[in-house]
Chain A
Amino acid sequence: MKKTVLVRYFAILREQRGLGEEQVSTSAATARDLYEELRGLHRFTLPSGNVRVALNDEFGPWESEIRSGDALAFLPPVAGG
């Protein structure tokens, strides 16, 4: 069954997607499945091994199950300072 989640993109992923956030309808089970789905769709250059995921504003494991209404963010390698 499809679920609807909010996806936020940052830095290079935001530019490659062309927007900062969107509602996505998906049948992906986990955060990793969703990233791979979106990576194929939008040709993201970063593999999931170089990206972290946040679920509802907290770092989460890639195997997190996603539910309708969740907010996910895909985080490229950070470079503060």
Chain B
Amino acid sequence: MKFELTSSEITPTALLSALDDTAAGACVTFEGRVRSQNEGRAVLALEYEAYAPLAQKEGERILSEAAARFSVLGIACVHRTGRLVLGDLAVWVAVTSKHRAEAFEASRYVIDQVKARVPIWKKEHYSDGSTGWINCAPSGPAGPAPA
């Protein structure tokens, strides 16, 4: 079980070999990629900023929760920081399990929780030269309730 933040390119092949397990009949992977459009605006690049010590802790908590909720054999999640261009991998999740249902469910749980809880921020760079921090407009959606 491994959660990682990295400022380097995510390389799934190398990461997958750490999950090799002949007891696993299923391996589900999810790739979150930088896309060219967001809410009608043309995106050229992204920057991810993380609060590393707390992002690491929260990421590890999410993987532990997934392991406790679903019968899985292995889980890994890697999230990028720094500047990314279109098509780059922003986040990668992999889950192995005996049967497919658990791997699908656990991978969905991990990516949904990571997006909602891990202190990582995304700044988009648009084709018109402007930029914007996602979810940070003052009238935008409220953040999670204080703990």
CB under 8 Å from chain B, chain A span 1-37? 8, 10-12, 14-15
Q: Is the interface of B mostly helix, strand, loop or mixed?
A: mixed
| Min CB–CB distance B145 → chain A (angstroms) | 9
A53 to B50, CA, bound (A): 14
B91 cross-chain contacts in A, Cβ below 8 A: 80-81
CB under 8 Å from chain A, chain B span 98-147? 111, 114-123, 133-136, 138, 140-144, 146-147
Query: Is the CB–CB distance between A79 and B51 below 8 Å?
Result: no
Q: Across the A-B interface, how many residue pairs have beta carbons closer than 8 Å?
A: 99
Q: How large is the interface on A (under 10, 10 to 19, 20 to 34, 35 or more residues)?
A: 20 to 34
Task: List residues of A whose CB falls within 8 A of some B CB.
Answer: 8, 10-12, 14-15, 45-47, 49-54, 57-62, 73, 75-81
* For the complex of A and B, 6 pairs with smallest distance between CB atoms: A80-B120, A11-B121, A81-B115, A77-B135, A79-B134, A77-B143
